[in-house]
Structure 1
Amino acid sequence: MPSIVTLTMNPALDLSTSVDKVVSKHKLRCAGARFDPGGGGVNVARVIQRLGGQASALYAVGGPLGEVYQGLLEAELDGALPIAIEGNTRQSLNVSETSTGEEYRFVLKGPQWREEEWRGALESVEECLSDGAYVVVSGSLPEGVPDDFPARVARLAKEAGARCVVDASGAALEEALQEGVFLIKPNLRELTDVTGAELDSREQQKDALRRIVEDGGSVLVALSLGADGALFASADGVFHMAAPAVETRSAVGAGDSFVAALVLRLADGRSLPDAARYAVAAGAAALLSEGTEMCRAEDVERLYHELGA
């Protein structure tokens, strides 16, 4: 199987807990806390390993919080590859309100990067690339990192004969599409932002995906539609994959689980329809986990087979 490398420029030390009710101006006595090493590419690598694959995770890390983050990740992931930065690794907070089932997510700002730091990150990526490899650029970009950073990674991937997967939004996604990548995974809001088109109907959504593929922006497009499943586009056409009905405990990590399963299956030589079914199953399986916990392999396999029944 080709190697899989993920890149996380703005990881977060995820803290999740629960409380009976979120109210203002009161001390809220919370349940026990759970800490996880989060961030798009890191989560993708963690899920790939949970699903029986292997991935190397390049991730930025710095400061006291970075030490905690690095310890947690290295205890869980075999292929953790830190990129040292001067700034402190950020945090995020996920609070579940047990009386209502509502979920509150607080995402803190990441560190400021210097130019020499993000250029060094590009060099680290280049060292990990090989012919046929997959490189997954996922998550937000911290301040100081240019919007065209994913596009720069895509350029390096092309030069190495690798495939670049981008899960980003806004200007970063626009720049990546101009460069041309192997796969993007926007949600409906992100796709609307970059296309500037009305995407209210299924046919409008399909047309937007077709244009991206035909214009050379991305070889494959996976449009996440939440509970409605996903649309997948390639040169062979566009198809819809329905999502299984599950009870949502937490939405954290659903998109990353989706990307992980999709890339793992494609790297294993499976067809796009098969990889799509596995990706939708993994995204749904993530909803069954509490707080910031990633999807469980047994849930993914069960839902995957249910979708194929």
Structure 2
Amino acid sequence: MAEILTITANPALDLSTDAPAVIPDRKLRCTAPLIHPGGGGVNISRAIANLGGESRALVAYGGQTGQQLVDLIEAEGLTCGSLGVDYATRQSISVRDMATGLQYRFMMPGSDWTASDAEAACDAILGAVTPGALVIPSGSLPPGLSVDFFLDLVPDLAAQGARMVIDTSGPALSRAAEAKAGLYVLRMDTAEAEELTGRTLSDLHDIAALTSELRAAGAAEIVVVAAGAQGTVIDTGDWRGLTRPPVVVVHSKIGAGDSFMGAFALSLSRGEDAVTACCWGTAAAASAVTTHGTELCRREEVERFFGQVERVGM
């Protein structure tokens, strides 16, 4: 079984709460906040733990918020290591408007990284990688960190038989898509795909065509695009299609993508094929949206939903 190593360069302490209504120029009396450790890689490791799997999380953390983040991570039974960069950890907050059901998410920036910070993180990652591992950088990049940072690690990882699975956004996604860096998996959601291409992806066939374009261009061996409630489109080279989830009642979309990645990676680490892994990921995302705030997928639900996921060739 392959080890899973998640990397979070820009984590956050996530607070989520409800307000009777979100309106300007008034004090909004909110409910007691839920506090969870956040950041793409952190949440992927949390999702893996929820599903009964194991991973190691490498995180850049510092200050009181950073210590609280680590305490919360370890309280969930996860193994947390440092990237060797110790700026004070940022915070984020999500507020659900109880009058409309809409959710507002406020994301604070991280601290600026220097060249020596990047070097320390590189050493930490390469020192933690084991042969054959799945390495998953996920989430936003802190200011100052090059969009090529993770891509530049791929040759050293490949020398150890490790494979990189990237789930990112913005300029880092654009660079990953064009770099032909030898990625194993490249994942994004539809909004990110539209930003990447500069065109509207109006239906699933447009999304499927994009996955094939990116594969053919050498972006990654496997390309995955989340299409919301419709499911996830994947192109492995051997199969292209949609993994369609069961219909569920949505409470919060926070954590759906990270839950997908956790279940997807866990399945791959166990030797299952990529399409089966995508079905597990789709089931996990469906479970995550039924939870409140920053909660993630639930194992019993994921196992039940997995049997209801449809595979539709395209």
1:18-97 superposed matches below 5 A: 18-97=18-97
The answer to whether the Cα contact below 8 Å between 1:149 and 1:172 also exists between their aligned partners in 2 is: no
1:219 match: secondary structure = strand
SS at match of 1:95: strand
Identity of aligned residues (%): 36
Q: How is 1:36-185 mapped onto 2 (pairs within 5 angstroms)?
A: 36-177=36-177, 178=179, 179-185=181-187
Residue of structure 2 equivalent to 1:275: 277
2:4 maps to what in 1? 4
**Equivalents in 2 of 1:26, 1:196: separation in Å?**
38
Instruction: Find the residue that maps to 1:236 and give its secondary structure.
Output: coil
Instruction: Tell me if the contact between 1:164 and 1:183 (Cα under 8 Å) persists in the aligned partners.
Output: yes
Residues in 1 aligned to 2:277 and 2:65: alpha-carbon distance in whole angstroms: 36
The alpha carbon displacement at 1:180 in A equals 2.4
Cα distance in 2, alignment partners of residues 30 and 189 from structure 1: 30
Q: What letter matches 1:68 in structure 2?
A: Q
- Whether the 8 Å contact between 1:150 and 1:175 is mirrored in structure 2 is no
Identify unmatched segments of 5+ residues in structure 2.
none
The Cα RMSD (Å) is: 1.7
TM-score of the two chains, using structure 1 as the length reference: 0.95
Q: 1:196: how far off?
A: 4.3
Conservation of the 8 A alpha-carbon contact between 2:225 and 2:234: yes
Q: Mapping of 1:257-296 within 5 angstroms?
A: 257-296=259-298
C-alpha distance in 2 between matches for 1:194 and 1:152: 21
Higher mean C-alpha deviation, range 285-294 or range 155-164: 155-164
Give the Cα separation in 2 of the matches to 1:202 and 1:215. Answer: 20
Equivalent residue runs for 1:237-248 within 5 Å: 237-248=239-250
Equivalent AA in structure 1 for residue 58 of structure 2 = L
Following the alignment from structure 2 to structure 1, what is the Cα–Cα distance between the partners of residues 188 and 155? 20
C-alpha displacement of 1:244: 1.7
Secondary structure of the 1:165 match is strand
Residues of 2 paired with 1:293 and 1:154: CA distance? 32
Give the alignment of 1:231-242 within 5 angstroms. 231-242=233-244
Q: CA deviation at 1:198?
A: 5.2
Number of equivalences: 309
Separation in 2 of the partners of 1:252 and 1:138?
15
How far has the Cα of 1:74 moved from its partner? 1.6
Q: Which amino acid aligns with 2:247?
A: A
* Shift of residue 215, structure 1, vs aligned partner: 2.7
Q: Is the 8 Å Cα contact of residues 232 and 240 (structure 1) preserved in structure 2?
A: yes
The aligned amino acid for 2:5 is V
What is the CA deviation profile of residues 126-177 of structure 1, one whole-angstrom value per residue up to 9, with x for unaligned ones?
A: 0122221100010000111111112123233222211100001232123323
Counterpart code for 1:37: P
Are the structure 2 counterparts of residues 131 and 78 from structure 1 closer, same or farther at C-alpha, using a change threshold of 3 Å? same
Query: More displaced, 149-158 or 5-14?
Result: 149-158
Which sections of structure 1, spanning at least 5 residues, go unmatched?
Answer: none
Distance in 1, matches of 2:69 and 2:200, equals 41
Shift of 1:86: 4.1
Q: Which moved more, 1:99-108 or 1:41-50?
A: 99-108
Q: Does 1:302 align with 2:304?
A: yes
Amino acid of the residue matched to residue 223 of structure 1?
Answer: V
